[in-house]
Amino acid sequence: MHKICLKIISSVTHLPLFLLAYRSAEHEVTGLTPAEMLFGRTLRLPCDILFGRPSETPSSPNEDMENLEARLGSVHAFARERFKLASERMKTRYDSRATYHYFKEGDIVWMYNPKRRRGLSPKLQQNCEGPYTVVKKLNDVVYRGRSTLSQKSSI
């Protein structure tokens, strides 16, 4: 029990440093740190306190506020652009591996129908029904089918 308590105390003492590292790490998509996105500036790290940082020229509070608004606006615009580029890259990768199934009239298919049945675990339930024969193509993804076992029609 003593070892478990020491591990918990140790992890609690390291939590602020972990959060500092996370908030000062550059995000892959935005290219900015979470602190820059939130505060409009980089965080002061322990190494900055030890070795110092270049001093900024002091200015009036109004000027500081205007600079902060301008920085946040440009940072957020930059992040939006990076998110847009990243989502386009992800879509391109997804579309390159996606497979589309086109059926023609008369094809024998199984219909995906994941309805929940009481008394049986969802893992053990059959999610497909069939076989069905494709009767008519209504659009690219919707077909009208007829059961080959009974003459019941379904979409």
Residues 11-38: pLDDT tens digits? 677 788 888 888 888 888 888 888 888 8
Count of helix runs (H) and strand runs (E) in the chain: 4, 4
Does residue 25 contact residue 33 with C-beta atoms inside 8 Å?
yes
Please report which confidence band the pLDDT of residue 9 belongs to, taking 50, 70 and 90 as the band edges. Answer: low
Q: How far apart are CA 133 and CA 14, in angstroms?
A: 62
pTM: 0.50
User: b/e string for 25-44 if b means 16 or more Cβ within 10 A?
Assistant: eeeeebebbbbbbeebeeee
Does residue 30 contact residue 79 with C-beta atoms inside 8 Å?
yes
Give tens-digit pLDDT for 39-87.
Answer: 888 888 877 777 777 666 667 888 888 888 888 898 899 999 999 999 9
pLDDT, averaged across the chain: 83
Q: How far apart are CA 72 and CA 81, in angstroms?
A: 14
The domain locations on the chain are: 15-96, 107-147
Give tens-digit pLDDT for 109-132.
Answer: 998 888 888 888 888 888 888 899
